[in-house]
Amino acid sequence: MPARNPEECDLLLMKAVEEGDLDAAVALYEPNATFVVSPERVVTGHAAIREVLQAMAEQSTGSIEAVTAVPSADGSVAVTRTKGSVTIPGLDGASVTRPFHSVEVVRKQPDGTWLFVIDDPSGEGMAGSLAPVGG
């Protein structure tokens, strides 16, 4: 199912990953989309994103509390932020639930649907490598 607005990208992605439907999940990304795995590791393209999403689907469950979007003036791109939680296996084998605040860039396609261009599930991106402003 295609995303008909920027917020749906996150909602549909979470649903597809939860259901283990990697084809549907990867279809929500542009072919050369970027996925921030960690501040030290960024992957590009459907094949690499599929691998990351597969690992996520096998190791975690999640829920979304809120999705907000800020569109560009011309409505062709938007920044989305998602607040939710993810449950993963802890070091001792017990489940651990952690909050997340993701940030994404999505783009409106010629057919009116929306796809991810940049996805940063942790919301941290390349923050560690950014130079300070003004100095």
The residue range of the domain holding 45 is 6-125
Whether 69 maps to a domain, the answer reads yes
In a domain, 47, yes or no: yes
Q: What percent of the chain clears pLDDT 90, i.e. is strictly above it?
A: 59
Give a three-class secondary structure readout of the chain.
CCECCHHHHHHHHHHHHHHCCHHHHHCCEEEEEEEEEECCEEEECHHHHHHHHHHHHHHCEEEEEEEEEEECCCCCEEEEEEEEEEEEECCCCCEEEEEEEEEEEEEECCCCCEEEEEEECCCCCCHHHCCCCCC
- Which pTM was predicted? 0.85
In a domain, 102, yes or no: yes
- Domain annotation covers residue 130: no
Q: What is the pLDDT of residues 30-60, one digit of tens each?
A: 999 999 998 889 999 999 999 999 988 887 7
In a domain, 115, yes or no: yes
Count: domains in the chain: 1
Is residue 132 situated within a structural domain? no
CATH (domain of 46): 3.10.450.50
Residue 124 pLDDT? 66
Q: Is residue 131 part of a domain?
A: no
**Per the domain annotation, does 134 fall within a domain?**
no
The pLDDT, as a whole number, for residue 135 is 41
Compute mean pLDDT per 10 residues along the chain, 135 residues long, and list them.
Answer: 94 91 97 93 96 86 86 97 84 82 96 97 60 41
